[in-house]
Amino acid sequence: MPNALSARNVAVVGAGIAGLTAAIALARRGARVTVLERADALREVGAGIQVSPNAVRALRALDLLPGFQARAALSEQVILRDLSGAQVARLDFARHRPNDSFYFIHRARLQDLLAGAAQAAGADIRLNREIAAPPEGFDLVVAADGLKSALRPVLNGTEVPFFTGQTAWRAVIADTGDAAPQAEVFMGPGRHLVSYPLGPDRLGRNQRNIVAVIERPDWHEEGWSHAGDPADLRAAFARFAPRVGDWLARVDQAGIWGLFRHPVATHWQDGRLVLIGDAAHPTLPFMAQGAVMAIEDAWVLAACLDADHDQAAALARFQSLRQPRCTRIVEAANKNARNYHLRGPARAVAHAGLRGLNRFAPASLIERFGWLYDYDPTQV
C-alpha cells in the first residue's frame, strides 16, 4: 500500500512557525504542499522566542537540530529576581535536566531556517496570498494563520477574546558576546520584565531580548506589529535594578501589545480543514510555549495523517491528542500571569515560599513542569 500521504494535495495557510514546520513534516512524508502566506516577504520581524526540549525533540526528528543550534542560544537556567535584582529562586535546567536542552532564538531566524527546509523538502511557498476562506482544489487545508486566524471562525464561529488588563512591550537590543546563558525575570508589584540573550543575527551580531509586562486598565490592540514608545517602557521600569535600566536605555524600538485570553478552539477540524498553532490555541506568553506548541502540533499532525489513509479519522485523532495538552498549557500560562505581579503581603509570602523551595528542594521548582518538558511529540 502506498504511503498514506503520498501525492495528497495539501494547502498550508500561513508561513509562520506552525505552517512551515507542518510543511516540512508533510512534504517529507510524501504530500504535495503549497504554503499560502499573506505577507509579501518573510521579514526580520518579531523578537525572541524560547524553545524547550519538548519541541527540540520534533526539530531533531526533522533533522533541523544542527541548523537550529547554529542560530540559537543555549538556556541553562531561569533566575527569578525581585525588582531590586536580588535572587528569589533559580530554575537550574543544566543541573536538574542534564539530558535536555533549552534554547532562545529570534523568531525571524527560526522562520528562516524552517522556510529553507520546507522548500528543500519540496514545498511551494507563495507570498502575497491573503486567504479569507478555505481554498478550493486541495484534499486538505491546514490553517496555520496565527492569532487572528481567518479560518478558525469557519469551524468555531465568532469568538470574543477577554482583555487581561496587561500590556506587554518587546524589544531586541545589541548584546555583548559573553552574556550568561540564562533568562532573568525581574518581578515587581503589577509588573515584570524578562530578558535573555538571543543567538547571533544574520550578520553574527549578538542580541538580547526584552519582554516587559505591566498591568494597566487601558488596553492596546492585540498583534505583533504595533510600535510602542521606548520612553514609556523606561518610565514603567524606572524603579527596577540598575541592570534593567542599562538594558532599557539601549532600546530604540519597542513593540507593544495588549494581552488577551482566548479560549482553546472547540472544533479543530471538519475532515478537510484543520487548525494548528495559534489559530487553534493562542496563549499568553507566561509559559513560553507558543512556538513550542506550534512545532509539536505540526509533527503530530503529519504523524497522524501518515498513519491512517482515512483523513477524517486521522484529523479526529490529531485533535484528541493535542487539545487536552494545549488546554493544559494555556491554562498554566493564564495562572502564571498572576504569580509574577503579586503585591503587598501576598507577594512577601510567595517570595518567601519560593526562596524556601530554592534552598531546600531546588529540583522541585522544575519537576512541577515535568508534564510539560517530558512530552515527546515524536512518540505520541
Ligand X SMILES: Cc1cc2nc3c(=O)[nH]c(=O)nc-3n(C[C@H](O)[C@H](O)[C@H](O)COP(=O)(O)OP(=O)(O)OC[C@H]3O[C@@H](n4cnc5c(N)ncnc54)[C@H](O)[C@@H]3O)c2cc1C
HSE, side-chain direction, 13 A CA sphere, residue 119: 8
Rounded least distance, CB 99 to ligand X, Å = 25
Considering the rule CB under 6 A, would residue 369 count as an interface residue with ligand X?
Answer: no
- Contact status, residue 127 vs residue 41, Cβ threshold 8 Å: yes
User: Measuring CA to CA, which residue among 162, 157, 136, 133 is closest to residue 145?
Assistant: 133
Residue 40's φ and ψ, nearest 5 degrees, are -90, -5
Which residue's CB is nearer to ligand X, number 182 or number 283? Answer: 283
d(CA 336, CA 167): 15
Q: Which stretch binds ligand X (CB under 6 A): 69-77, 123-131, 314-322, 329-337?
A: 123-131
How far apart are CB 298 and ligand X at their closest, in Å? 9
**How many residues touch ligand X (CB under 6 A)?**
34
Window contacting ligand X (CB under 6 A); options: 31-39, 83-91, 113-121, 262-270: 31-39
- 53 contributes a contact to ligand X by CB under 6 A: no
| For ligand X, the closer CB: 4 or 274 | 274
User: Considering the rule CB under 6 A, would residue 46 count as an interface residue with ligand X?
Assistant: yes
CB of 155 to ligand X, least distance (A): 15
Q: By CB under 6 A, tell whether 141 contacts ligand X.
A: no
d(CA 69, CA 102): 11
Residue nearest ligand X, Cβ-based: 16
CA distance 88 to 79: 8
Is 59 an interacting residue with respect to ligand X (CB under 6 A)? no
131 binds ligand X (CB under 6 A): yes
Nearer to ligand X, 226 or 239 (CB): 226
Q: CB-based burial of residue 137 (10 Å sphere; 0-12 exposed, 13-18 middle, 19+ buried)?
A: exposed
13 binds ligand X (CB under 6 A): yes
Whole-angstrom Cα distance, residue 344 to residue 219? 25
Q: Is 281 in the site for ligand X (CB under 6 A)?
A: no
Our finding on whether 19 is near ligand X (CB under 6 A) is yes
Among 31, 150, 210, 244, binds ligand X (CB under 6 A): 150
Binding mask 99-118 for ligand X (x = CB under 6 A): --------x-----------
Strand partners, 295: none
150 vs 212 by CB, closer to ligand X: 150
Stretch of residues binding ligand X (CB under 6 A), selected from 15-23, 80-88, 120-128, 159-167: 15-23
Note whether 47 binds ligand X by CB under 6 A.
yes
Cα separation, 93 vs 347, in Å, equals 25
**Contact between 365 and ligand X (CB under 6 A)?**
no
DSSP E strands: which ranges in the chain? 9-13, 32-36, 48-51, 73-75, 77-82, 87-92, 102-106, 124-126, 140-143, 162-174, 182-188, 191-198, 207-215, 227-228, 254-261, 273-275
208 is a contact residue toward ligand X (CB under 6 A): no
Judged by CB under 6 A, the residue of 12, 14, 77, 213 near ligand X is 14
Residue of 278, 315, 333, 340 that binds ligand X (CB under 6 A): 278
Separation CA 142–CA 190 (nearest Å): 39
Number of CB atoms found within 10 A of residue 352's CB = 11
- Select the span of 32-40, 72-80, 82-90, 242-250 touching ligand X (CB under 6 A): 32-40
Q: Is residue 199 a contact residue for ligand X (CB under 6 A)?
A: no
Contact by Cβ (8 Å): 26, 318: no
Query: Which residues, including other chains, have CB under 8 Å from residue 362's CB and lie 6 or more apart?
Result: 89, 90, 92, 96
* DSSP-H helix ranges across 62-204: 65-71, 93-96, 107-120, 152-156
Tell me the three cell numbers of residue 358. 530554592
- Which residue ranges make up the site for ligand X (CB under 6 A)? 13-19, 36-39, 45-47, 49, 107, 129-131, 144-147, 150, 170, 224-225, 277-279, 285, 290-291, 294
